[in-house]
Structure 1
Amino acid sequence: MDSIPLSVQSAILAALLALSGFFSMAETAMMAANRYRLRTLAKQGSRGARLALDLLGQTDKLLGIILLFNNLINAASATLVSVITIQLFGNEEWALGVSTLGVTFLILVFSEITPKVIGANHADHMACVVSYPLSILLRGLYFVIWFVNLFVAGLLRLFRLQSNGEGENQPMSTEELRTIVLEAGSFIPPKHRSILVNLFELEDITVEDVMIPRHQIEALDLSQPRDVILHQIATCYHTRIPVFDAHMDAVAGVLHVRRILAQSLEHPVDAADIRGMLSPPYFIPASTPIYSQLQFFQENRERIGLVVDEYGELLGLVTLEDIIEELIGKFTTSAPDASDKLAWNKDGSVIADGSQTIRTLNRKLGLALPVDGPKTLNGLLLEHLQDIPESGVSVRIAGVPIEVIQAEDRRIKNARLFRPRSAG
């Protein structure tokens, strides 16, 4: 070494630091690379992405080749700095100490921190680039890496640790997939992102969450006079309506309004004619997940179902459109809906009907009211207060101030909600 000019030794040191930086960057880039994006690039024909995936499939050998060269180069750099220091200052202890601190600083800045920051910020691109030289080195020194990994595997077995040598990704949970979709940013249009997020929630939503409550069902009572029945049919908002005798639990069937229009052209229609046009009612347990119910609708070729509880009592009604609207948002406009007017006023408040569902309030107003209990605003307030309140009573639930405006007939008819600071 003494015969090599100092300038050449300095150039060799710089080259060693650069090589060490390359392996540090390669390690960070390969470990931080998005494997799903690499798979997409590989399917599009990127050879670098295919090589990167092959290397990630044998993580133990990949780390072995990177760390082998990185440690050899760092050790050589420290030795070379010592030689240069002795040539310049002799065996002075202070000079050797300063040179040790100096080479540590150089390795940290030029061989560790800076390359790793670059590798982490451009992981996918750099992984495709560094996969070429790493693949060549691994093939050339495969036996050496295999020999070193024998000892690594022995230590892992000694400590009873499982070695994930194949580098396979752990299965992603629904919440992880949901986070990926929410953080996709401009890659997924907002409307598409909303639909995908709604899909993840399907398994947690039951028919009871989306049904039309019993008291809001537009139904036909055959016990009414003929003129009342015909007027209700002429002014109804829906093409299919449930029909009952005297009380709601005595459901006779479901009437397709278009059938009665054709019949009325031939002769006056009465209750007996309507009864002959009814389709058998289709009942649904309230606890059925809406994803399963969507499949049941398809299998049974039904579009409307009556929701019942465990005792067979009628709770409400759900249609195919109700489930689809949970995915893509509201699209029907024929029937009036109180939720269409749900929006914060200029003073940061909104008046909501007590029968409004909690999920609709959360979605329309950007709130986080609890959905694991009562389904409506009325039920939520009654459960929280444990009493039927008088007008003017206020309460705060999940950070949302709520004032009861009108309570009658053992239920809260209207309430005013105030926008919390966290709401949009």
Structure 2
Amino acid sequence: MNSIPLSMQLAILVTLLALSGFFSMAETAMMAANRYRLRSAANLGSRGARLALELLGKTDKLLGIILLCNNLVNAAAATLVSVITMQLFGSEEWVLGVSTLVVTFLILVFSEITPKVVGANHANRLACIVSYPLSALLKGLYFIVWFVNLFVAGLLRVLRLRNNNGQDAHSLSTEELRTMVLESGTFIPPKHRSILLNLFELEDITVEDVMTPRNQIEAVNIADPITVIQGHLATCYHTRLPVFDGEMNAVIGLLHVRRILGQTLDRSLEAVDIRDMLTKPYFIPASTPIYAQLHFFQENRERLGLVVDEYGELLGLVTLEDIIEELIGKFTTSAPDSTDKLCWDANGSVIADGSQHLRALNRKLGLDLPVDGPKTLNGLVLEHLQDIPESGVSVKIAGVPIEVVQAEDRRIKTVRIFRPTKER
């Protein structure tokens, strides 16, 4: 080494530090790279991204080749600094101490911290670049890396640790995906982001959450006089109506209103004609998730179902449109909804019906009322008070002040909701 000119030794030292910095940067870039972005780039034809994914698929060999080369280069750089220092200042003990401090400083600044910061800040772009030389090095030094990894694998087995090549660290849970969507910023338009967030909630929402309650169902009582039925059919908003005989639990079928038109053009309508036009009702358990119900509608080629509880009592009605609206929002062609008129007045309050669905209220007014219990505003207040309140009683639920305006017939008819104040 002494025969090599000092200038050449300094050039070799700079080269070694640069190589060490490259391997440090490559290690950080490869490990910090977003695999999903790399996979997207690989699908678009990026060879560098494809090589990076191949290397990340065998993390033990990737780290083996990087650390093998990096440690060799660092050891060579430390030895060279010691030689240069002794040539310049002699071989006293203080010279060796100074050379150790110098090489530590150089490696930290030029080979570790700076390259790692660069690699972390530009991980995805650099991973596609450094994958080329790393792949070539791995092929050339494969036997050495394989031999070293034999001892690594043995040590992992002794410690009872499983080598999964980092696959588990890059598998995302539902909540992690939800967080990614929430933090997508301008990459996903707000409307699209809202639809994606609704998709994550499908398994937690049941048909009972989106159904039309029993007391709001538009239905035909076959026991009514034919003139009453005709008036009902002439003014109904929906094209499919449940038909019951005497009381709502006795649903005998579903009537497609358009089929009545041909009958009424030929002759007068009779109750027996309506019975002949009925189709078999489709019943749905109240606890059915709407994601599963969407598939059931598709498999059974149905668009409307009657929701029943565990005792077979009719609770409400759900349609295919109700489920789709839960995902993408209200249609302009939907039936009039009482929540459409809800808005805060100048005093920061709003009058709402006790039968309002909590999910609809939360969405319309921007509230956070709990929806894991009762489904309506009336049920929520009754559960909270554990009694049927009188008019004028006020409660605060989930930070939302609610005043009972009118209560009758064992239920809360109307309430006044006050806009919650933001806590400072």
Taking structure 1 as the reference length, the TM-score comes to: 0.92
Relative to structure 1, the CA distance from residue 260 to residue 123 in structure 2 (aligned partners, 3 Å threshold; closer, same or farther) is: same
Deviation at 1:347, TM superposition (A): 4.5
Deviation at 1:94, TM superposition (A): 5.0
Deviation at 1:342, TM superposition (A): 3.5
Alpha carbons 1:219, 1:241 under 8 Å: kept: yes
Relative to structure 1, the CA distance from residue 87 to residue 421 in structure 2 (aligned partners, 3 Å threshold; closer, same or farther) is: farther
Aligned residue for 1:388, secondary structure, equals coil
Matches within 5 A, 1:303-314: 303-314=303-314
2:12 is matched with 12
2:64 is matched with 64
Q: Unaligned stretches of 5+ in structure 2? A: none
2:269 is matched with 269
1-side partners of 2:342 and 2:116: how far apart? 50
Alpha carbons 1:23, 1:66 under 8 Å: kept: yes
Relative to structure 1, the CA distance from residue 26 to residue 208 in structure 2 (aligned partners, 3 Å threshold; closer, same or farther) is: same
Aligned residue for 2:218, secondary structure, equals coil
1-side partners of 2:422 and 2:24: how far apart? 42
Which 10-residue stretch deviates more, 292-301 or 341-350? Answer: 341-350
Alpha carbons 1:378, 1:412 under 8 Å: kept: yes
1:118 is matched with 118
Which 10-residue stretch deviates more, 275-284 or 390-399? Answer: 390-399
Matches within 5 A, 1:320-359: 320-345=320-345, 347-359=347-359
Relative to structure 1, the CA distance from residue 386 to residue 20 in structure 2 (aligned partners, 3 Å threshold; closer, same or farther) is: same
Give CA-to-partner distance per residue, 1:172-217, whole Å, 9 cap, x none.
3322333333333333333223222222222221111111001111
2-side partners of 1:84 and 1:402: how far apart? 81
Alpha carbons 1:57, 1:165 under 8 Å: kept: yes
Q: Does 1:209 align with 2:209?
A: yes
Relative to structure 1, the CA distance from residue 311 to residue 143 in structure 2 (aligned partners, 3 Å threshold; closer, same or farther) is: same
Deviation at 1:44, TM superposition (A): 1.7
2-side partners of 1:135 and 1:199: how far apart? 40
Deviation at 1:39, TM superposition (A): 1.9
Alpha carbons 1:57, 1:168 under 8 Å: kept: no
Q: CA RMSD in A?
A: 2.4
Relative to structure 1, the CA distance from residue 58 to residue 354 in structure 2 (aligned partners, 3 Å threshold; closer, same or farther) is: same
Relative to structure 1, the CA distance from residue 407 to residue 17 in structure 2 (aligned partners, 3 Å threshold; closer, same or farther) is: farther
Letter in 1 for 2:219: A
Aligned residues: 423
1-side partners of 2:121 and 2:359: how far apart? 39
1-side partners of 2:139 and 2:298: how far apart? 55
Deviation at 1:126, TM superposition (A): 0.9
Deviation at 1:76, TM superposition (A): 2.4
Aligned residue for 2:155, secondary structure, equals helix
2:361 is matched with 361
Deviation at 1:133, TM superposition (A): 0.3
Letter in 2 for 1:261: L
1:231 is matched with 231
2:90 is matched with 90
2-side partners of 1:94 and 1:410: how far apart? 93
Taking structure 2 as the reference length, the TM-score comes to: 0.92
Letter in 2 for 1:308: V
Aligned residue for 1:265, secondary structure, equals helix
**Identical counterparts, % of pairs:** 78
Deviation at 1:41, TM superposition (A): 1.6
Matches within 5 A, 1:183-262: 183-262=183-262
Deviation at 1:134, TM superposition (A): 0.2
Deviation at 1:22, TM superposition (A): 1.1
Alpha carbons 2:56, 2:165 under 8 Å: kept: no
Alpha carbons 1:237, 1:334 under 8 Å: kept: no
Letter in 1 for 2:148: V
Deviation at 1:81, TM superposition (A): 2.8
Letter in 1 for 2:54: D
Deviation at 1:92, TM superposition (A): 5.3
2-side partners of 1:308 and 1:261: how far apart? 31
2-side partners of 1:138 and 1:299: how far apart? 52
1:371 is matched with 371
Deviation at 1:23, TM superposition (A): 0.8
Letter in 2 for 1:173: S
Q: Unaligned stretches of 5+ in structure 1? A: none
2-side partners of 1:217 and 1:305: how far apart? 12
Letter in 2 for 1:416: R
